[in-house]
Chain A
């Protein structure tokens, strides 16, 4: 499932982020299990996975704030286990939880990080204006962060994370809980940074955001189970997808799951998606078995979501057998 430009050795010279068998255990529990991947300079790398998959744990190790249990990794050429302080000069990090100072105003938050990153006096004002302009916060300069809405907060947090023009940015679910329009404008910022050559490592739960990434890694139960560009991943989808439009999809779900040839099934919008071996055969079989129902069935090209649902169900079955 590896894409053409995804090296697995973790030693590519162009790689800004490079992991090799990276592992983190909490007691007996393995949160991140031998993850190996590379992210090239200027790339937008999307890291996907369900809750508790190990996304944040991986990002924390990459930012040098959580020591790995085993394996290795480099960020901007520095070792995450031994050179974490050097890494901190090279990165911007936006943690999953909003973590600016709520009692401070927009400008005061920017000034604080400006001091922390020791932005030279001559550049300070220019960078501050850049952030305010980029985040569209001109009107809210003097507003306390706690009074900003979710979308503004996230943009301010991104602004503070890239204030010092780091070559690599780690964003942990930067758009969770943000409305679709704000999310789109946030992604415009990400593209803008990427266009300037910044490497971006971003986690998300939103499939339309995943589609925007240059490359994706899918993590489940701590293990990296898929890696590649969105197109590669979709092309590599084993089988076909049947979309069923119906009145009561939940009832139907239970009746079609047991049909032969159905590998996985999931509620999808107002209907169902089935991952099957052969779409024509399944459509015919359902028409035979459930003639009383008026179903609209058609074969569609798999989306990323279909892909990940079938990954998760396959892993779930493997784990329970």
Chain B
């Protein structure tokens, strides 16, 4: 492995990318479009969420509480229910997305300062709407509770504990409800996977098609130098995409970044090495740009979207498919990125995922090296 040759190949490949609008489009424009498109589609504002109420308390206090909901622009009171059966029917018929169950002792609990638990039943089948509805419901509840606290202080009573009331969510139909925050790191993973494989799927095939490969294999350049040199520019593009994605998350979608930045970049580089090598392998085997890009899309896009757990929770999939997701690399990266990004987890808790990505990258890279021939067959 000679640095001079690797850098010659890398530099040449950089120039290709810079001068070929297709590569630039795939590398920079498409990821951004995907992030914005999906980011907005998945975080679309929700208002006038249909609400049913089962008011067991039937007191002025409970009516004031419910009034807070009807007054909010986020909710629309569509009916009263007299029991869980009615709530279930309303949600199943999609008349309501959220139901509130105000307990019998609501007024007493609030008045005494003991507090009370209001149950919120949410249709989780559209996890996005559900997460919003839940967020709004919490907001309305909090402001009611603050009002109660304020009122009692104004009446000269002793200051009451601030958390007079709490909302106890029950999510139906999708217990692993994903929130908007949950989706964004997954989205980064999916975009990276698709882009990475697509970018490199063109490189070797293009050289075979144009005829430059015949020239190249008649030189002393080694297979390793060729592969490494070709990976470097796309690796840089991938890293740039990650940086852009984090910035978009931070400044456009307000996604809290709790993890360590270096850890995100480190795990992403391992993931990228695997995804880029996969595209390279496909390119080497097919020797055709068209075929190669099609295969890369099918091999990465579908599994990454459907089976990575990025939108569809893996726990809800049929068991055989759950088993199958274990070989989808995007799944591990989605988990890894979520863990680091949202929970600020350290590597110790994610070592399994990281090792899998490392092993995958090593395997695919070895295969690509093995399949690349400096011969015309």
Contact = CB atoms under 8 A, between A and B. Distances in A.
A88 B12 contact: no
B2 interface: yes
Interface residues of B, number: 26
A112 B11 contact: yes
Contacts of A66: 375-376
B212 A118 contact: no
Q: State the main secondary structure of chain B at its contact with A.
A: helix
Interface in A58-105: 60, 63-67, 84-85, 88-89, 91, 93-95, 97-104
B5 A88 contact: no
A65 B8 contact: no
A117 interface: yes
Contact of A117 (B16, B19, B219): B219
A115 interface: yes
Interface string A243-275: 000000000000000000000000000000000
A171 to B, nearest CB: 12
A116 interface: yes
A311 interface: no
A91 B12 CA distance: 22
A65 B211 contact: no
B16 A88 contact: no
Contacts of A100: 212, 215
Contact of B5 (A93, A99, A115): A115
Contacts of B214: 60, 65, 95, 97, 99
B7 interface: yes
A89 B219 CA distance: 7
A110 B12 CA distance: 11
A108 interface: yes
A113 interface: yes
A159 B210 CA distance: 20
Interface in B189-248: 210-212, 214-221
B45 interface: no
Interface residues of A, number: 31
A114 interface: yes
B374 A65 contact: yes
Contact of A104 (B12, B216, B219): B12
Interface in B7-33: 7-9, 11-12, 15-16, 19-20
Contacts of B7: 115
Nearest to A112: B12
A108 B19 CA distance: 13
B376 to A, nearest CB: 5
B20 A116 contact: no
A85 B374 CA distance: 9
B11 A99 contact: no
Nearest to B221: A116
B4 interface: yes
B12 A67 contact: no
B212 A99 contact: yes
A108 B15 contact: yes
Nearest to A95: B214
A117 B16 CA distance: 20
Contacts of A63: 218
A262 to B, nearest CB: 43
B286 to A, nearest CB: 19
A95 B220 contact: no
A104 B19 CA distance: 9
Contacts of A97: 211, 214
A64 B19 contact: no
Contacts of B15: 101, 103-104, 108
A99 B4 contact: no
Contact of B376 (A65, A91, A104): A65
Contact of B219 (A88, A102, A111): A88
Contacts of A84: 374
A116 B5 contact: yes
Nearest to B215: A99
Given A60-B376, A65-B374, A103-B19, A116 B220 contact: yes
Contact of B8 (A91, A102, A111): A111
Contacts of A101: 12, 15-16, 212
Contacts of B217: 65
Nearest to A105: B15
Given A99-B214, A111-B8, A112-B8, A89 B220 contact: yes
A111 B12 CA distance: 9
A165 to B, nearest CB: 14
Contact of A93 (B16, B20, B218, B374): B218
A9 to B, nearest CB: 27
Contacts of B211: 95, 97-99
A64 B19 CA distance: 32
A88 B12 CA distance: 21
Nearest to A114: B8
A117 B375 contact: no
A116 B19 CA distance: 21
A124 B4 CA distance: 12
Contact of B210 (A94, A99, A111, A114): A99
Most chain-A Cβ atoms within 10 A of its Cβ — which of B4, B214, B218, B220? B218
Nearest to B222: A85
22 contacts: A60-B214, A64-B374, A65-B214, A67-B375, A85-B374, A99-B210, A99-B212, A99-B214, A102-B210, A103-B19, A103-B20, A111-B11, A112-B12, A113-B219, A114-B8, A115-B5, A115-B8, A116-B9, A116-B216, A116-B221, A117-B220, A118-B5
Interface of B: 2, 4-5, 7-9, 11-12, 15-16, 19-20, 210-212, 214-221, 374-376
Nearest 5 interchain pairs by C-beta: A115-B8, A99-B215, A97-B211, A93-B218, A99-B211
